[in-house]
Amino acid sequence: MYLNRYSKKNIIFLTGMATFFFGFGAGAILNIFLLAINSPLVLQFRTSLMYISSILGDGIILPVVNMIAVSFLFKNQILLGKSAVILGLFFGFLVTSYFHVSQALQGLVNWSMPKPWEWNFLGAWHAFYMFSVASLLSVFYIVLILVFKKQKKLAREAFFVTAGIIFFLILLKLDYIGARLI
């Protein structure tokens, strides 16, 4: 499929906006609304606005990381085949499953999983969002490996995407060990 440069830039921008909205924006709006009506869900459980990994990670880091990943995929779309996408979806499923099962096993409850193994609509929303992001990033790494095999050098996008993911995971870990960053 042929896309002109303007269309690619729009898709890259929309990727960042969609990541922001689905990963942070919608939850933040709901969080504020539920606070305004004194919902027990936000009064009894940690919400997205209580996690620095949500605010910085889902709100800033992952939108930028995903924009870099999509830009890279456009540059290397000749290597982006059906098998890379299927494999990326598989790895996205594994990553999402790992995090959600780990959360349940550790009893890490919040507003999206008020009881271990019982996810509500917010939990399903987050699982779909996480699956989408993990799948996109898995496809990125699959194509990155293919580019590396072909060019024998690591693309600079690998450093930015990997650093962003590592920073996000550090913020996530700090959130769950109870560290207060702000």
pLDDT tens by residue, 75-84 = 999 999 999 9
Integer Cα distance of 17 and 60 in angstroms: 10
Q: Could you read off the pLDDT of 25-56 as tens digits, one per residue?
A: 999 999 999 999 999 999 999 999 999 999 99
Q: Do the Cβ atoms of 54 and 24 come closer than 8 Å?
A: yes
Q: Compute how many other C-beta atoms are within 10 angstroms of the C-beta atom of residue 80.
A: 17
Integer Cα distance of 113 and 121 in angstroms: 9
pTM as predicted: 0.90
Domain segments of the chain: what residues? 5-176
**Rg, the chain, Cα only:** 18
Q: Could you read off the pLDDT of 157-174 as tens digits, one per residue?
A: 999 999 999 999 999 999
Q: Do the Cβ atoms of 70 and 12 come closer than 8 Å?
A: yes
Integer Cα distance of 59 and 48 in angstroms: 10
- Identify which of 118, 119, 129, 2 has the alpha carbon closest to the alpha carbon of residue 54: 129
What does the block give as tokens for 80? Answer: 């982006």
